[in-house]
Chain A
């Protein structure tokens, strides 16, 4: 879990370490703590880099040689009690009287089951990694995020947004950031950042459709529909993003629909509209359920080639085209090819 020593700022530790009014023994303790804090921050970045290296290596090894059977991963929930991470661990979250806690653990477990049943993936790292969720993060926090190790969910302000655990696509989206971290490792900038965000919307939406038993025609393809607060709804907003119509006026955050609109440095949450639309179009053309064929292609494109931190959208598109060709079904091949062509890739 997140290191508690980060709570005291480094400059404060160093000030106490050189305070002549403190005993030498106390000053040494602060000096040691300062060094440890530096090391902990470095460990976090080193962990990201190590994940990158390990994933590159392991991707060379057939999963059958290294895998254990796919079993439900442990799932822990922490209550931030309107403070920061990590919070206080909740005993028995599956039977908690706090609905937010119960949703966090139930839906995280469901996402893991989705990945196991549909993609044969054993938790977000494909090695049964414990899922960690912190709820009641800060006060009226209008967001949810993955911090490299865990998910964090805000309660919303009750006006524009409501409790973020109310959206099963939110939970699927955030956990998929973990999947991406442990597979392609797209960075959070430029085209790779847009792919990172898109993949999370894609698998978050697929998870939502899977839970509801929907096919590509009955799905609403809306991202964040269930976390819209009364004030947002009253103004006609039905979602954060719309994979079927990224530029729609009912979106709180409209997005571009064609790669011709892309420019370097574009916010990944904005540029993700382009690959989102491609996935939607491919699914609609293929028919059935989104995870039948197109979802499998997207999963393989994300996880089957080792790390690709700075992948371009064109590279990802061509990767899915090749995978679609290998399926040996003209409908699927054309669905994927035409979808990317339609968004300018």
Chain B
């Protein structure tokens, strides 16, 4: 069905920049989401909008036909996706 990679971008402590020693990422299978969250994710990818914000989420959908990445403001991201993001140190 597909997998999601959720990355936290921006704010005071953004991770994942080149050479950074910490990352902030979450991974979920679409099949793990509730039907409502799957619907919301589907709507986000169907109508992506450019983001100009200090803090947002970069969400990548990996599916059989390839990858698609969108940028989404926090208030539009389902709580389940946000909660999946973990900070890891090298």
From A2, A148, A164, A224, give the contact of B53 (CB < 8 A): A148
Docked-complex contact B12 and A224, CB < 8 angstroms:
yes
Docked-complex contact A188 and B10, CB < 8 angstroms:
yes
Q: Which residues of B contact A11 (CB under 8 A)?
A: 39-40, 43
Given contacts A147-B53, A235-B89, A252-B20, contact A9 B43 (CB under 8 A): yes
Q: Which residues of B contact A237 (CB under 8 A)?
A: 21
Q: Is B1 interfacial (CB 8 A cutoff)?
A: no
Closest CB of chain B to A178's CB: distance in Å?
10
Q: Is B48 interfacial (CB 8 A cutoff)?
A: no
Q: Which residues of A contact B13 (CB under 8 A)?
A: 142-144, 161, 164, 224, 227, 240, 252-253
Closest CB of chain A to B8's CB: distance in Å?
7
User: Do most interface residues of chain B lie in helix, strand or loop, or is the interface mixed?
Assistant: mixed
Task: Please classify how large the interface on chain B is, using the bins under 10, 10 to 19, 20 to 34, 35 or more.
Answer: 20 to 34
Docked-complex contact A142 and B24, CB < 8 angstroms:
yes
User: Do most interface residues of chain A lie in helix, strand or loop, or is the interface mixed?
Assistant: loop
Docked-complex contact B12 and A253, CB < 8 angstroms:
no
Q: Is A84 interfacial (CB 8 A cutoff)?
A: yes
Q: Which residues of B contact A10 (CB under 8 A)?
A: 43
Given contacts A174-B12, A232-B89, contact A2 B54 (CB under 8 A): no
Q: Which residues of B contact A170 (CB under 8 A)?
A: 12
Number of chain A residues whose Cβ lies closer than 8 Å to a Cβ of chain B: 45
Closest CB of chain B to A336's CB: distance in Å?
27
Closest A residue to B10 by beta carbon equals A145
Docked-complex contact B52 and A146, CB < 8 angstroms:
no
From A157, A174, A187, A253, give the contact of B20 (CB < 8 A): A253
From B9, B14, B53, B75, give the contact of A253 (CB < 8 A): B14
Q: Which residues of B contact A231 (CB under 8 A)?
A: 89
Across chains A and B, which 9 residue pairs bring their CB atoms closest together, nearest first?
A145-B55, A145-B11, A143-B11, A270-B17, A253-B20, A144-B12, A269-B14, A254-B19, A142-B87
Taking Cβ atoms with an 8 Å cutoff, the residues of B that contact A are 8-22, 24, 36, 39-40, 43, 52-55, 74-76, 79, 82-83, 87, 89-90
Contacts A11-B43, A157-B87 aside, 10 further interface pairs with beta carbons under 8 A come to A9-B36, A143-B11, A143-B13, A147-B55, A188-B54, A252-B20, A253-B13, A254-B19, A254-B20, A267-B17
- 20 A-B contacts (beta carbon < 8 Å): A6-B75, A6-B76, A9-B36, A9-B39, A9-B43, A11-B43, A48-B52, A138-B83, A143-B11, A143-B12, A145-B11, A146-B54, A148-B54, A224-B12, A235-B21, A235-B89, A237-B21, A252-B13, A268-B10, A270-B18
Taking Cβ atoms with an 8 Å cutoff, the residues of A that contact B are 2, 6, 9-12, 48, 84-85, 138-139, 142-148, 157, 160-161, 164, 167, 170, 173-174, 177, 187-189, 224, 227, 231-232, 235, 237, 240, 252-255, 267-270
